[in-house]
Structure 1
């Protein structure tokens, strides 16, 4: 087997995974909804560099769908259970509705 074919076969799956991750993130940024925060928690995991916290929120959209999203620490601190939120296309995180 030639070296170029071996290189292509080894890098191909990695490239596909990276494309899938990028498309999921782009879809999350383009998503839009209004709803209410119904739950929030911090999920921890331990990796190579020690424990890592992931701030999670559950949102019930006005259309009836349930969303579980990971947010940054600032968004997590600013929103509580029962808060009305709005997420506009292009914004990374939901914000409290006015």
Structure 2
């Protein structure tokens, strides 16, 4: 019985962290905005398997919010500073309006 309690108490914090990460990702995907790219860059971090680059874009929305989002390499290459962007609900990345 005590082993079960210890197991549950050790798994619960991990489950909470994973739930928080998942809810944040869902919120990002459901977010919608339009605005302009004000900056972009690459952040690097060193992990177990060596250095890793993360592509980051800074966006000022039409409502005045300042966003810093991490994007994939394809989105990073396709958008430059000064480009207009639109992110639809359900889309993972912002794109140029058509």
TM-score category (smaller protein): over 0.9
Pairing 1:27-46 to 2, within 5 Å after superposition: 27-46=27-46
The offset of 1:82, in angstroms, is: 0.1
Runs ≥4 residues deviating over 4 A: none
- SS for the counterpart of 2:46 is strand
The offset of 1:62, in angstroms, is: 0.1
Pair 1:95 & 2:81 matched:
no
Per-residue CA deviation, residues 20-41 of structure 1 (Å, 9 max, x unaligned), is 0000000000000000000000
The offset of 1:53, in angstroms, is: 0.2
- 2:56 & 2:5 partners in 1: Cα distance? 42
Tell me how many residue pairs correspond in the alignment.
98
TM-score (norm 1): 0.98
Task: List runs of 5+ in structure 1 lacking aligned partners.
Answer: none
Other-structure match for 2:86: 86
- 2:65 & 2:97 partners in 1: Cα distance? 18
Pair 1:57 & 2:57 matched:
yes
> CA RMSD for the aligned pairs?
0.8
Other-structure match for 2:19: 19
Task: List runs of 5+ in structure 2 lacking aligned partners.
Answer: none
